[in-house]
């Protein structure tokens, strides 16, 4: 049995307790912001946000009990959102004992002033090395929703990291009859793939909003527009993944993650509202309090593409859907999906 300390008691971090406990591991769940979730788990095991009762034996801690929760841990699981990664890097990474791996459920890319993109694990390990700390930072990517994982639905995801032997050890901790884990050392490929799915799930969801506007929310559904945007999203994301040095096989996790994301959640809500003709400001106000990771990744990568174009590395014309999503978010543009720009000639 291993001790797994989960820092971040959100939906996905908490859902990871299901395969971990099913394998007999001790799970210590540390809340960062929402004390009510922790108190509820302590009372009866119920997670109010996930709306599920966590497995018996999950131990809940408040942030001021972090030292106790991390004592003798065999694995630190990073359960924060992408907006919390800076906090995690500043407050948790420095106190991770050498030799104890980190597994992150957080997806994202950093952009520097020159427009270069770097996956979170690579950026965090590089900065740790610069201050003399050696840390093994791994990540989870692939199509999974927290509530279905908690319901033990059949799921196939991927763990990525630099050390194949550590990845095998992590797989042994979480692999179950319903939670299937592939492994890859292609960190850039997997992390880029699963980060970009948020941006393009927003793009596909525009078609849902357009359909609502034309036929009503209870009207007949039309899937050709969604499929066309899905296809374009796969094409554009593939270009970015290739630019980042990712492998084609790893890129397939983008398609799976995109598929599951467009069926629900905050990204679909935002894309639907924009498709219905709402401005980003109006949609953001309607979704007040909801973390919009899709906005961060879409705008960040779009700006990186523009900077790369100036250096002759990428072309904005190769990313018409991403550019339009960014125009809707960043520049107050009116919805006008550039369908003709999707057309191509394949020799």
Average pLDDT, the chain: 96
pLDDT tens digits, 104-144: 999 999 999 999 999 999 999 999 999 999 999 999 999 99
Phi, psi of 311 (to 5 degrees): -100, 5
Domain with CATH 1.10.1040.10 in the chain: 188-342
Within the chain, all domains assigned CATH 3.40.50.720 are found at 3-185
pLDDT-based confidence at 270, cuts 50/70/90? very high
In this prediction, residue 33 carries a pLDDT of 85
Taking only the tens place, the pLDDT of each residue in 43-84 is: 999 999 999 999 999 999 999 999 999 999 999 999 999 999
Q: Taking Cα atoms as reference points, which of 14, 15, 25, 28 lies closest to residue 66?
A: 28
Q: Which fold has domain 3-185?
A: Rossmann fold (3.40.50)
pLDDT at residue 183 in the model: 98
The DSSP annotation for 123-179 comes to HHHHHHHHTT----EEEEESS--HHHHHTT--EEEEEE-S-HHHHHHHHHHH--SSE
Q: Are 109 and 119 in contact (CB under 8 A)?
A: yes
pLDDT score of 5 more than 80: yes
**pLDDT tier for residue 289 given thresholds of 50, 70 and 90:** confident
Architecture of domain 188-342: Orthogonal Bundle (1.10)
The percent of residues above 90 in pLDDT, for the chain, comes to: 94
CA distances (Å), origin 274, targets 216, 231, 336:
15, 20, 11
pLDDT at 93 over 80: yes
Among candidate residues 256, 109, 127, the one with its CA nearest the CA of residue 188: 109
Q: Where are the beta strands (DSSP E) in 217-314?
A: none
CA gap 79, 56 in Å, rounded: 20
Alpha carbon distance 100, 96 (integer Å): 7
- If you average pLDDT over residues 155-174, what whole number do you get? 98
Say if CB 334 and CB 275 are below 8 A apart: no
Sheet harboring 179-184: ordered strands across? Answer: 59-61, 26-30, 3-7, 75-78, 102-104, 137-141, 155-160, 179-184
Query: What pLDDT does residue 122 have?
Result: 97
Give the residue carrying structure tokens 């912001």: 33
Tell me, yes or no, if the pTM score tops 0.85: yes
* pLDDT tens per residue across span 20-50: 999 999 999 999 988 999 999 999 999 999 9
């Amino acid at each position: 049995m291993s001790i797994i300390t989960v820092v971040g008691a959100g939906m996905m971090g908490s859902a990871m307790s299901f395969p971990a406990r099913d394998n007999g591991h001790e799970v210590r769940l540390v809340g960062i912001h929402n004390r009510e979730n922790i108190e509820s788990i302590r009372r009866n095991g119920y997670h109010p946000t996930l709306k599920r009762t966590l497995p018996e034996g999950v131990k809940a801690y408040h942030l001021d009990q972090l030292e106790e929760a991390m004592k003798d841990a065999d694995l630190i699981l990073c359960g924060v959102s992408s907006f919390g990664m800076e906090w995690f890097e500043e407050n948790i990474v420095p106190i991770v004992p050498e030799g104890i791996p980190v597994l992150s459920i957080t997806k994202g890319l950093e952009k520097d002033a020159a427009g270069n993109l770097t996956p979170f694990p690579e950026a965090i390990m590089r900065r740790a090395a610069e201050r003399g700390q050696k840390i093994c930072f791994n990540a989870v990517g692939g199509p999974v929703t927290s509530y279905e994982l908690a319901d033990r639905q059949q799921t196939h995801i991927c763990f990525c990291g630099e050390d194949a032997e550590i990845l095998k050890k992590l797989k042994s901790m979480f692999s179950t009859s319903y939670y299937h884990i592939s492994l890859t050392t292609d960190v850039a490929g997997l992390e880029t793939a699963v980060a970009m799915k948020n941006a393009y799930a927003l793009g596909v969801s525009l078609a849902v909003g357009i359909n609502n506007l034309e036929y009503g929310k209870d009207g007949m559904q039309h899937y050709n527009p969604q499929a066309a945007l899905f296809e374009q999203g796969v094409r554009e994301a593939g270009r970015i993944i290739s630019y980042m040095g990712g492998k084609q096989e790893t890129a397939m996790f983008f398609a799976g993650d995109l598929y599951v994301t467009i069926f629900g959640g905050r990204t679909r809500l935002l894309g639907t509202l924009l498709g219905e003709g709402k401005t980003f400001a109006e949609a953001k106000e309607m979704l007040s309090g909801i973390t919009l990771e899709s906005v961060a990744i879409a705008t960040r990568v779009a700006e990186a593409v523009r900077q790369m174009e100036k250096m002759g590395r990428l072309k904005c014309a190769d990313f018409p859907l991403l550019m339009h999503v960014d125009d809707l978010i960043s520049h107050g543009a009116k919805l006008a999906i550039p369908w003709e720009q999707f057309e191509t000639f394949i020799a």
